[in-house]
Amino acid sequence: MTATTDGSTGATLPSHAAAASDTTLSTPEAAGVHQAATRAARRATDFLLARQDAQGWWKGDLETNVTMDAEDLLLRQFLGIRDEKTTQAAAMFIRSEQREDGTWASFYKGPGELSTTIEAYVALRLAGDAPDEAHMAKASAWIRERGGIAASRVFTRIWLALFGWWKWEDLPELPPELIYFPTWMPLNIYDFGCWARQTIVPLTVVSAKRPVRPAPFPLDELHTDPASPNPPRPLAPVTSWEGAFQRLDKGLHQLRKVVPRRLRRAAMDSAARWIIERQENDGCWGGIQPPAVYSVIALHLLGYDLEHPVMREGIASLDRFAVWREDGSRMIEACQSPVWDTCLAAIALVDAGLPADHPQLVKAADWMLGEEIVRPGDWAVKRPGLPPGGWAFEFHNDNYPDIDDTAEVALALRRVGHHDPERMDKAIARAVRWNLGMQSKNGAWGAFDVDNTSPFPNRLPFCDFGEVIDPPSADVTAHVVEMLAAEGLAHDPRTRRGIDWLLAEQESNGSWFGRWGVNYIYGTGSVVPALTAAGLPGSHPAIRRAVAWLESIQNDDGGWGEDLRSYKYVKEWSGRGASTASQTAWALMALLAAGEQDSKAVERGVQWLADTQREDGSWDEPYFTGTGFPWDFSINYHLYRQVFPLTALGRYLHGDPFERGLLARKPHSEVKVG
């Protein structure tokens, strides 16, 4: 393919991209929008290319909330390794996140959150902030008004119990004998989503040991009645699920007294082996901070000293979650997202017109190929005969590849003009085979496991924070369907089952629920491009309903936005919120896939992206548009504000990636997946 160099940026665009930029448009307004989009895409491309790591990957900061920072300090206090530099850097960041009313929220401009505020307050006490200082007094007063420590979630009270600020006997029981439950038995560890499983197994050890380190100070100011800090919680009716599980928990507390010591010790040893077997090469567990924290505590309680190789590497891995900022503060990432960021960046760059064989794209492809997971993990418990062939989210996470990353990596690799196409084809074929093998029985796909839909884990008194199961979702299923269409499998019966599930899951207003992004805009922005890639015409009733919904929620400024409160207050907040770059891009990606290139809604959205772009080619996005657990745990992926707007601008300027030939709908007979 010949190429044309844009002298203003140094980025080389393919000839068809240059031709598209010169196309005469129907109205002066449209021509102005096209020109603005072209300039914005060029600047965004340069911005993104300049931020690729020398090894070929991209990674933006993954911002969550200050519980990560608070729990990191509490861990260091518990292990006796807390140092002043780390403490003060963390405290600086935590203070910077406090709001005027004295609280901390779990997402930008969200409401004050009780447990988050308690943990932040305790961390600042560790850093030396006195309870009578104005910012601390304001926080403690707010905490007391909302029920104090007694009203906080279980995980917060576990952290406090480690120092005697809460009684272990007033926490839900989590017996280590769970490790022995067979997979057919309710509440076995594989009934939990992988992120919950990695946390619960070490916490069974902590729950059994009930350790208490001397508290460095009292927390009387966080109780509504310091004389009675552990008030009993009322029991729900025995006829309700909540009441039944509360009584089960009471039974487990009694069982604790009679469990043979030899059995308990054996169960804890089995849990320790399970934990150690899942430690990654970099010392972490699953590339996620919370399981790493609890695993270190559990192993320490079982006698592993801090110099043991497992412990030494585990503790060292925690430092890799730290982001040191220019002002000297220190933010902890709950996770790191290089595979996800890299495949999304590659898709954005190619869709925006960068030549498929551009050296930086080839380097990105080489890095992604090197990250393929070629050994079984926990997913093989449900699919023991399925050959591996997926990708995880993080740098090191061989036990938990995920279906979403695997689909998007395949879509990214298929776009790159690599010097070893046979290697690419084989890797993509393995990805297709693995994803097809991970299809749930309802025809859809979850993120990590097959048919992870047990109704029981979420009902446990212990599980009062976020999702602990991994049922199929519309966004993950859509990405798999799009990948299968790109591999010529749009008419495969397994793909059609996924499409049928998506059509049945459409909301009455025309949107789709977004499990891993906020929220209905993300779901809809994922599903519509997948359905059209699989051959549904833009005139299909489901797509027309989606278009009508997106047009109805467009903001007056031309952008789109959705607040995280839509997860809790659907009617009031669905598709509503301040305009953001990533959510505007998702809406545009859906509208463009539906054939709305010339619509006023698209023009206004593209213009909003062009108008809000910063001079350096980036966008500002303080709002959280990523989802860990709907409502409970939110994420601001710092690269979302870059990759998705560039993808949308590229598709506006150059058209659908299938129509352009970036992705080929190959005949079914040409596709090898076995």
pLDDT mean over 473-493: 97
> What are the pLDDT digits (tens) for 165-213?
999 999 999 999 999 999 999 999 999 999 999 999 999 999 999 999 9
Q: Are both 22 and 35 inside the same structural domain?
A: yes
Burial of 260 (0-12, 13-18, 19+ CB in 10 A): exposed
Which of 332, 364, 390 is at the close of a domain? 332
Question: Is 463 domain-assigned?
Answer: no
The angle subtended at Cα 206 by Cα 117 and Cα 396, nearest 5°, is 80
Q: Are both 287 and 355 inside the same structural domain?
A: no
pLDDT top residue among 669 and 64:
64
- Residue 330 CB partners (closer than 8 Å, separation 6+): 69, 86, 89, 90, 92, 93, 322, 323, 324
Confidence of residue 665 (pLDDT cuts 50, 70, 90): low
> What are the pLDDT digits (tens) for 603-626?
999 999 999 999 999 999 999 999
Q: Are 470 and 446 in contact (CB under 8 A)?
A: yes
Question: Is 673 domain-assigned?
Answer: no
Structure tokens, 642: 């870059």
Q: Are both 219 and 203 inside the same structural domain?
A: yes
Q: Are both 328 and 343 inside the same structural domain?
A: no
pLDDT mean over 377-395: 95
Confidence of residue 7 (pLDDT cuts 50, 70, 90): very low
For residue 176, the SS3 value is helix
Confidence of residue 26 (pLDDT cuts 50, 70, 90): low
Q: Are both 73 and 164 inside the same structural domain?
A: yes
Q: What is the DSSP code string of 374-438?
A: -S--GGGGT-TTPPP-BB-SSSS-TT--BHHHHHHHHHHHHHS--S-HHHHHHHHHHHHHHHHHT
Q: Are both 265 and 343 inside the same structural domain?
A: no
> Number of structural domains, the chain?
2
pLDDT over threshold 50, residue 582: yes
Residue type, 340: W
Full residue range of the structural domain in which residue 191 is found: 63-227+234-332
- CATH number of the domain residue 436 falls in: 1.50.10.20
What is the model's pTM? 0.92
pLDDT over threshold 50, residue 8: no
Q: Are both 656 and 591 inside the same structural domain?
A: yes
pLDDT over threshold 90, residue 88: yes
Confidence of residue 357 (pLDDT cuts 50, 70, 90): very high
pLDDT over threshold 70, residue 533: yes
Neighbours of 59 (CB within 10 A): 22
pLDDT over threshold 90, residue 253: no
pLDDT mean over 239-265: 83
Confidence of residue 666 (pLDDT cuts 50, 70, 90): low
Which of 332, 348, 380 is at the close of a domain? 332
Q: Report pLDDT for 83.
A: 95
Which of 302, 332, 362 is at the close of a domain? 332
Confidence of residue 25 (pLDDT cuts 50, 70, 90): low
Q: Are both 152 and 44 inside the same structural domain?
A: no
pLDDT over threshold 70, residue 520: yes
Q: Are both 37 and 137 inside the same structural domain?
A: no
pLDDT over threshold 90, residue 660: no
Question: Is 483 domain-assigned?
Answer: yes
Q: What percentage of the chain's residues is helix, strand, coil (to nearest 5)?
A: 50, 5, 45
Q: Please, which residues bridge with residue 322 across strands?
A: 332
Between CA 561 and CA 550 the distance in angstroms is 11
Nearest alpha-carbon partner for 439 in 384, 383, 395, 510: 383
Give the chain's length: 674
Residues above pLDDT 90, as percent of the chain: 84
Between CA 605 and CA 650 the distance in angstroms is 13
Question: Is 508 domain-assigned?
Answer: yes
Question: Is 138 domain-assigned?
Answer: yes
Q: Are both 286 and 394 inside the same structural domain?
A: no
> What are the pLDDT digits (tens) for 397-424?
999 999 999 999 999 999 999 999 999 9
Question: Is 459 domain-assigned?
Answer: no
Between CA 18 and CA 118 the distance in angstroms is 56
Q: Are both 197 and 212 inside the same structural domain?
A: yes
Q: Which helix (H) or strand (E) holds 301?
A: helix 289-301
Q: Are both 30 and 115 inside the same structural domain?
A: no
Q: Report pLDDT for 463.
A: 78
Question: Is 585 domain-assigned?
Answer: yes
Determine the distance from the C-alpha atom of residue 634 to the mean position of all C-alpha atoms in its chain, rounded to a whole number. 8
Between CA 438 and CA 448 the distance in angstroms is 8
Q: Please, which residues bridge with residue 402 across strands?
A: 391
pLDDT over threshold 80, residue 236: no
pLDDT mean over 497-520: 97
Residues designated as active site: 404
Between CA 223 and CA 221 the distance in angstroms is 6
pLDDT over threshold 60, residue 364: yes
> What are the pLDDT digits (tens) for 458-472?
888 777 877 899 999
Between CA 674 and CA 666 the distance in angstroms is 16
Confidence of residue 101 (pLDDT cuts 50, 70, 90): very high
Question: Is 455 domain-assigned?
Answer: no
